[in-house]
Each structure stands twice: as C-alpha cells, then as structure tokens.
Copies of this chain bind each other. A is one copy, B any other.
C-alpha cells in the first residue's frame, strides 16, 4: 500500500507540472528543464494558462485539460492558489502531488492554516503530498529529476547506492551535486513534511534493492515512534546515517521558522537514535564521511585494533591520538610483520606501530610502501589499517598513490582508510580509488572517526 503510493512519486510514468514556465530562473522553468534534461522517457504535461508550448512540449490551460490522469503532479504556483489547484488535481483523479511552493507551515499563522487546509484536502480525497516547501526528488534509475533549482549541475549526477532523505535544498546543493563520485540511488526533499514523512520514505527506500546506504537530514519528526520502529528494522539491513538539526535552543527555534517542524529535545532524539541503531552525524562533514564509508568500505572491521602506516612521524603521533580519541586501539604487529619489515628497514628504523615509512623513502620507496601494505593487510593482529599517505612525491619517479592503487586493485583484505595531504592533485588521485574500497578523508581525525563508526556498526549488527 505505502509502497504503491510512494511509487507514484519515485516511479511515475506521467507527470503534470502545474505552473510550468519558459522563463529561466522561475521554479516552473527549472522543473521543466531538469525533467527534460534528465531524458525522462514518459509523458510530461506542463500546465499554465499563459503558455502554448514550453521546450517543444504542449502546455495545457488547466489540469482538467490534460488528456489522461498523470501519476504525479508538481505544483509550483503562489501558495494562496495551492488549495484550489489541489482540489482540481483531486477531481482529475491524481493520487500524488509534490508541492514546491513555500509560505505554509514555514510562515506564521496564516501559512500554518493554509497547510492544514491542504492536508485536509489530501486526506479527504485520498491523495499523498510531498512538501510543501520542497526542492523535489531525483531517481536516476528512472531518469527522473524533479528538481526546482537550476538544471546545470544535475548533469554531473551518476547512479549509485546511496539514498538521501532530507528536509531542505541545502543537501541537494552542498552534497548531492558536489559528491557526484559517490553516486545517487534516490534523493528526496520532504520540505515541511505535511504528509509523506521520514518513516514512510525510510521504509520504502529500506526495501529498495538499489539503495544500500541511507543518509538522512532531519529537522523534526512527525511520527517519532513510527520512525524509530521503521529505523530499527531498516538498520539491521542497511546503515542509516542521520544529521539531526536543532541540537540547541537557537537551532530548534530556527527550524520552527524554516519547515515549521518542532525539533523536540535533543537528548530524546539521541537516545531513540541509539536504540534504533542509527548512526548519528555531528555535522555535514561527518555525514559525508560516514555515508561514503558505508557505501564503499568492502567490509566492516571486526575489532578495534588499528595498524597505522605513515610517511611522517608527526602524523603518526597525531594518528595515534586520533585513534585513542575514537576508542580504537593501536595494534601490536605480529612477528611476521616485524620480521618482514626489518629486512627492508635500515637498522635505525623499526617496525613499530605507527609504522613510519618516511625515512625510508629515499632508500627504496616503492618496496617499503608495498611491503608495509602487504604485511599489515595479512597481519592477524590487526582489524583495520589507517594510512597517512604522502601524495607529493619525494623521490623521483615514485608516486605513493601508485602503490595504493595497486593495493586497491588487488582487492582490499582489511578495512583501510586513507588521509592524504592537503594538495588538490594528490587528493583527486586518492579519491579515484574510493570506488575500489580505499576511502580517503580530509584529515587524520576524520579517518579515525569513520573507522570507529564502521566498527561500531559491526558491533551493532553482532549484538
């Protein structure tokens, strides 16, 4: 039932765009342009009494004039017109509506009343609403880009295994279009969430075979108990990562005026999230790190014993600090590792953890790096590897990233995270290895946190 209802949104085979426009910059233009640009293979029915044709597609004066009942309607008109248009959609037999317009629960008493009105209409007439105040949704699998913002960046999006449920366009801009290497399964902005809510979509995408990781932005929950129940089920199958805004009184107040959500007490959320096996991110950076980690890490670490390979002794100390902070332990290398490395290291260097390979790079950089990776990835005393990688070459004709590439291409045998230097070129090279399961983080501390979170999930699944 819920699945069929949400299929109307995520897998429509005909769409009406009410308020479609041919004026660049207008929301009704953007919806049209994005849908056309995404090569949506089914019917599009623009509706606007002011136009005859937009982008070569015939425009209808009213929704009643559309030749069939579309699976989904987008409403992109002034908020005051929304209730009457919603009624006309109901008359047409439409079951699913995305309301892009803002000025509802996000805007004072009058807006709140308007929102109650549309909810009542939807309930009475058996319609489901996503929004109002939503940016839309994306499903690359169905060539579906129902997005109210500028069409250009969408071209970069590739299909992937991560789905996003959020209450804001911010995610779309800050994350989806700027983390394209990760790839996208589905993304939806629930906006004010007057009807379709987090739990329903979480349940729907929890059963979606193309979705392997769920990343959520929550301002407030409409159905807290239902959400926890659904999450408890989904987290056993797929990692669910949540960024919950409104931790502070000020943040909660800001939320009330943004999507009209009541943020609730943060402690309550925190306890409920823990109980449901949800992975909580402290900020956008963590959300991005964790989502990537669970999307690409080939396996979860089965323990917290970490081996560190570093090109810098200083970075090794910082990495040891970062591991300790994240409750990871520094592994004691096995005899095999120590013996193997002793053969390569000069007498004054040694195979301690963190293993500092910097002093040796001028001797035989490639052999040392390869041996270190090989030893640690087969060392039974280790559950995971953290590498502080030199991405700037110190020795001629040696690029440490090549060693990492070889390591990744052979197939990763032990969860391995990497942090590189702050140089653009080197980081790009490292990031290109992520789809092979070798994950890069922008700092040592973030790499350690990601490793800790993945071990934490292992413990959750085995508890």
Using a CB–CB distance below 8 Å, which chain A residues touch chain B? 24-27, 79, 102-103, 106-108, 111, 149-150, 153, 166-171, 173-175, 177-179, 217, 219, 243, 245-255, 257-259, 282-285, 288, 312-325, 329-330, 348-350, 352, 354, 356, 358-359, 362, 390, 392-396, 421-424, 442-445
Decide: B325 and A248 in contact? CB cutoff 8 A.
yes
Decide: A248 and B320 in contact? CB cutoff 8 A.
yes
Residues of B within 8 A of A219 (CB): 314, 317
Residues of B within 8 A of A396 (CB): 24-25
Decide: B392 and A153 in contact? CB cutoff 8 A.
yes
Of the residues B111, B312, B362, B422, contact of A26 by C-beta under 8 Å? B362
Known: A25-B362, A217-B314. 12 other contacts (CB 8 A): A25-B395, A103-B348, A106-B313, A168-B312, A170-B312, A173-B390, A178-B421, A251-B324, A252-B317, A254-B316, A254-B317, A282-B445
Decide: A283 and B422 in contact? CB cutoff 8 A.
no
Decide: A421 and B174 in contact? CB cutoff 8 A.
yes
Decide: A253 and B320 in contact? CB cutoff 8 A.
yes
Most B CB atoms within 10 A — which of A111, A179, A348, A396? A348
Decide: A245 and B317 in contact? CB cutoff 8 A.
yes
Of the residues B106, B250, B283, B348, contact of A444 by C-beta under 8 Å? B283
**Complexed CA–CA distance, A245 and B171 (Å):** 35
Of the residues B27, B245, B250, B313, contact of A168 by C-beta under 8 Å? B313
**Complexed CA–CA distance, A49 and B312 (Å):** 31
**Complexed CA–CA distance, A325 and B445 (Å):** 19
**Complexed CA–CA distance, A144 and B411 (Å):** 46
Most B CB atoms within 10 A — which of A168, A248, A313, A317? A317
Decide: A169 and B323 in contact? CB cutoff 8 A.
no
Decide: B313 and A250 in contact? CB cutoff 8 A.
no
Decide: B324 and A249 in contact? CB cutoff 8 A.
yes
Residue of B nearest to A263 (CB): B317
**Complexed CA–CA distance, A27 and B26 (Å):** 61
Decide: A314 and B422 in contact? CB cutoff 8 A.
no
A-B CB proximity, top 7 nearest: A258-B313, A168-B314, A248-B324, A251-B321, A170-B312, A178-B422, A250-B320
Decide: B423 and A283 in contact? CB cutoff 8 A.
no
Residues of B within 8 A of A349 (CB): 107
Of the residues B248, B316, B324, contact of A258 by C-beta under 8 Å? B316
Residues of B within 8 A of A317 (CB): 219, 245-246, 251-252, 254-255, 258
Residue of B nearest to A393 (CB): B150
**Complexed CA–CA distance, A167 and B169 (Å):** 44
19 examples of A-B residue contacts, CB within 8 angstroms: A24-B396, A79-B348, A150-B394, A168-B314, A170-B313, A174-B315, A174-B422, A247-B321, A248-B320, A250-B320, A251-B324, A252-B317, A253-B320, A258-B313, A258-B314, A258-B317, A282-B445, A283-B443, A284-B444
